[in-house]
Amino acid sequence: MTSTLRTIAVCLLAFGATTAFGQATLTVTDTSTQTISRFIYGHFAEDLGRCIYDGFWVDDSMKVPRKDRIRLDVVEALKRIKVPDLRWPGGCFADQYHWSDGIGPRAQRPTRVNTTWGMIPDDNSFGTHEFLELCGLIGCEPYIAGNVGSGTPQEMENWLEYLNYGGKSTLSAQRAANGHPAPYKVSLWGVGNESWGCGGSMTPEFYTDQFKRYGEFCKDYPGTHLKKIASGPNSDDYHWTEVCMQRIPAWDMYALSMHYYTVVGDWDHKGSATRFGEDEYFTGMRKCMFMDTLVRKHSAIMDKYDPAKRVALAVDEWGIWTDAEPGTNPAFLYQQNSLRDALIAATTLNIFNNHCDRVRMANLAQAINVLQALILTKGARMVLTPTYYVFELYKVHQDARWIPISLNSPDYTYNGQSIPAVNASASRDQQGRVHISLVNLDPNKEVTVSANIQALHVRSMSQEVLTSAHFTDINTLDEPNKIRPLASTAEPLSGDSLSVTLPPASIVVVELRP
């Protein structure tokens, strides 16, 4: 396989009851040198609801495999999808968290009130060492968000010395006394979180001064280069991005964060996670696709000040946010997870893949029992959600070479509004295999994909599909395998032709082997 220009012309024919849905083309140009960073596939674990406590960190009497109180069946599930990094302790909680509360003998740690999420007591039994042990077990990098809202530069400086200094000092000796003589070498570091809101209700002008003030005391200790991530805009606040890029030097900022949630209703009535019709389904898909507009517009602003793209756009909170499940604490943000959510995840990851020149970090909110979770638990039982399986299918894109695509898709039309029915992204891994991830958002019609693959010299192919009978379908503790990837029978290769059928409301990942 050479790196010469390759084009796959794909004809998409969708069929309704009796009428052809139309035709479109997908063009793939295999000349890119861009890499899809594995950190696009990151996750988020806030001290919120049942994510940490009763999620990752369980009572020592619970009869599940554990390391200390870390739940190992959860760890193994996250290892399988190659989680690259985990963000902690927040979220909004980060700007009320004081790291020294969570070190030392657990019986001596203070109990604080989590004023952000439910006014509940927090015994701080899960702190710095426990989080870094969790990351070590998963095999991922820690991404820590420091406290700018209620903390001080001194507090942040001390935390970093405690984490990363390997020489002789009071703080490094304290770390050793607490069980870890070697420095942790934490690199990914958030300087605050949502500073425009729960992190301090700041203006961008004030925040950029705070970033430079706090950042001055965030040191590179020997063996660890700190990657400082600035608290960026809320959704379409393009002014915030403009000010940050104007006032913070590119050399001082590894990434600028951006947060966007798919909210089907409004913030007071977000909609149900399980009881919705095609009207809300369509709205969810349309709002999910707004991520592409956000990335394009924020990237354009960043390009003005950083044409070399030194600063990454880190979408470190994203996903669908619905009303909490009935009967649960609304402050815990526990929601079920349907096929709709999987389609949102797959579409969003396709967007990130296709903007991998600027989007080099992202973190789904959140890993367990909160918002668009990968895993739901109840006591000793756990279930993997449809969203989990999207990350399992898409892990083939991690650190693979991005292949640009151009898609002219047929429309999915509902109630006079239209969005593209199909979205896609593609990459080539280090073994030369091409993976094309295709999403059909139309819940009523299948799409047949036909391709001329002569230039790829394909010897064989396989495909997996994730779908279900209805977009409200979910996995439950009693029916955990309702939605999971299945190897599907592909049309046999016929000369240089490829044919793939996308069922209604489905995700299909095709592997083409040279």
Q: Which residues are catalytic?
A: 194, 317
Q: Is the peptide bond before 91 cis (omega within 30 degrees of 0)?
A: yes
Distances (CA, A) of 410 to 9, 246, 413: 15, 40, 9
Across-strand partners of 262? 320
Using an 8 Å Cβ cutoff, are 72 and 64 in contact? yes
Residue 415 is classified by DSSP as T
| C-beta separation of 344 from 50 below 8 A | no
8-state DSSP, 494: B
Q: Is 107 exposed, middle or buried (0-12, 13-18, 19+ CB in 10 A)?
A: exposed
Work out whether the CA dihedral 96, 199, 141, 396 comes out positive or negative: positive
Give me 495's structure tokens. Answer: 């000369």
Q: Phi first, then psi: give them for residue 147, nearest 5 degrees.
A: -90, 105
Q: Whose CA is closest to 422, among 512, 509, 505, 320?
A: 505
Token pair for 493: 């290769």
Query: Is residue 494 exposed (0-12), middle (13-18) or buried (19+ Cβ within 10 Å)?
Result: exposed
Report how far residue 310's alpha carbon sits from residue 320's, in angstroms, rounded to the nearest whole number. 29
Task: Classify burial at 186, counting beta carbons within 10 Å of its beta carbon; exposed 0-12, middle 13-18, buried 19 or more.
Answer: buried
Tokens of 211: 């970033």
| Cβ 208 vs Cβ 248: under 8 Å | yes
Q: What are the backbone angles phi and psi of residue 213, rounded to the nearest 5°?
A: -65, -55
Q: Which residues of 126-136 are buried (b: 16+ CB within 10 A; e: fewer)?
A: bbbbbbbbbbe
Pair 140, 84: CB distance under 8 Å: yes
Residue type, 408: N
Structure tokens at 506: 């489905």
Output the DSSP codes for 447-465.
EEEEEE-GGGT--EEEEEE
| CA 373 – CA 125 distance, rounded (Å) | 23
Structure tokens at 127: 């702190």
